[in-house]
Structure 1
Amino acid sequence: MRTSTTGQRLIAEFEGCKLTAYKCPAGIWTIGVGHTSAAGKPVVKSGMRITQAEADDILARDLVRFENAVARVVEVPLNQNQFDALVSFAFNLGEGALASSTLLKKLNAGDYTGAADQFARWNKVGPKVLAGLTRRRAAEADLFRRPVTGASTVPATPAAPTIPRAPTGLLAALLGLFRRS
């Protein structure tokens, strides 16, 4: 499963996009759409600048990292909205926070409602409640609770890669004609 446009918008709305490195409220050097050195390359330093194209590339890599993190730790089926909310949560707080959270424990026990209620607990930096984190956690919980119309839940684990089969029948015959030309 990959993050939908809705999930990407949620992350971008709360992270913003800054092309010059800055320290986030937790004091961590950040650039682009919420990228920190903890998420991988590039290492973010004071005075660092990137282009919008670089910010887009970094975001794409970071999303894959956190999508894979969600897929690794979630043991129950998720709909797209639930997956997106968890990717946003992990993107903001890190893989370790998700992996060790009561939110995940409740989710993996099949308690989807209890899991959704846990988002609100993650609105602090140290002992200080941040309004922006409170809004983000509320948006993630709302997305997590929102049903996906016309779609069913699917396992969060990535699908095994398909192995292409050699063409057979009419397709094989047609391809054979083109190879001889």
Structure 2
Amino acid sequence: MDLSPIGRAALRAREGERLTAYKDSVGVWTIGVGVTTASGLIAVTPGLTITQAQSDALFARAVEKYVDPVRQALAKPVPQEFFDACCSLAYNIGPVGFAHSSVARLANAGDLQAAIEAFLMWNKPAVVIPRRQGERDQAATPYAKALPRARRGDYAPVKVPAGPPPAAPPKAADPLAPMPPKPALTGGLSSAPSPAPAPGLFARLLSTLRTNMAKGA
């Protein structure tokens, strides 16, 4: 399971984006789409500035660092909307925090409704409460029914990204599949048979040889 395009759009809307380093709500230096030094992707220092292309690349790499731990923490299949909301939560509280959260524990116990309500337990600092409410609503609402909002109370839902979703990764080769036949040798030594001599060539050579012998006798 992967973070969907809608989930990426919702996460990006919640985090916001700045190309110059700033302090977040708890005083941590941040840049791009909520990327901090703790991500291991960049050292964020006062005055640091990046380009839009660098911000896009950082976000793509950061998403993978947080999505994979969510996959590992959730032991049972969940709806796409719930998974996307979990990725948003993990991006904010960290992969270790998510792995030990009531959201993951209750989902793994099969109580999805309680897991949805558990999003609201992560309510500090108070400034994140509208975001938690948005994640809770996203986890509970199928996308076919309503698109998510970055925060509860937002006037409009997140903008649906244009274009097709990312292509699925290629399947790994089957180690038990039969080996393909080796190609025939080409160039240099060839396994093809030599062409047969032209018809009558040997007879003409033999006749010429006899004629020459007769003249020399």
TM-score range, shorter chain: 0.7 to 0.9
Match of 1:5 in 2: 5
Q: Which has the larger radius of gyration?
A: 2
Letter in 2 for 1:122: W
Deviation at residue 162 of structure 1 after TM alignment: 2.1
Contact 1:16 1:34 in 2 (8 A): yes
Match of 2:131 in 1: 136
Residue 5 and residue 160 in structure 1: after superposition, are their counterparts in 2 closer, same or farther (change >3 A)? closer
SS of aligned partner of 2:142: coil
Contact 1:21 1:46 in 2 (8 A): yes
- Percentage identity across aligned positions? 35
Deviation at residue 94 of structure 1 after TM alignment: 0.6
SS of aligned partner of 1:78: coil
Q: How does 1:1-181 map to 2 (within 5 A)?
A: 1-125=1-125, 129-130=126-127, 133-147=128-142, 162-163=172-173
String of CA shifts for 1:107-127, please: whole Å, max 9, x gaps.
1111100000011111212xx
Structure 2: how far apart are the matches of 1:137 and 1:106?
Answer: 17
TM-score normalised according to structure 2 size? 0.67
TM-score normalised according to structure 1 size? 0.79
Runs of 4+ in 1 over 6 A off after TM superposition: none
Contact 1:81 1:148 in 2 (8 A): yes
Deviation at residue 148 of structure 1 after TM alignment: 5.5
Structure 1: how far apart are the matches of 2:57 and 2:2?
Answer: 16
Contact 1:102 1:115 in 2 (8 A): yes
Structure 1: how far apart are the matches of 2:68 and 2:171?
Answer: 14
Letter in 2 for 1:137: R
Structure 2: how far apart are the matches of 1:87 and 1:2?
Answer: 9
Deviation at residue 163 of structure 1 after TM alignment: 1.3
The one of the two structures with greater contact order (alpha-carbon pairs below 8 A, sep at least 6) is 1
SS of aligned partner of 1:69: helix
Contact 2:3 2:83 in 1 (8 A): yes
Contact 2:41 2:62 in 1 (8 A): no
Match of 1:156 in 2: none
Residue 160 and residue 99 in structure 1: after superposition, are their counterparts in 2 closer, same or farther (change >3 A)? farther
Aligned-residue RMSD, C-alpha: 2.6
Equivalent pairs counted in the alignment come to 161
Deviation at residue 99 of structure 1 after TM alignment: 1.2
Structure 1: how far apart are the matches of 2:60 and 2:38?
Answer: 15
5+ residue gaps in structure 2? 145-168, 187-217
More helix by share: 1
Structure 2: how far apart are the matches of 1:7 and 1:148?
Answer: 10
Structure 2: how far apart are the matches of 1:85 and 1:113?
Answer: 14
String of CA shifts for 1:10-49, please: whole Å, max 9, x gaps.
1111111100001101111100000011112111111111
Structure 2: how far apart are the matches of 1:5 and 1:83?
Answer: 12
String of CA shifts for 1:39-90, please: whole Å, max 9, x gaps.
1211111111100000000000011111101011111101211111000000
Contact 1:33 1:55 in 2 (8 A): yes
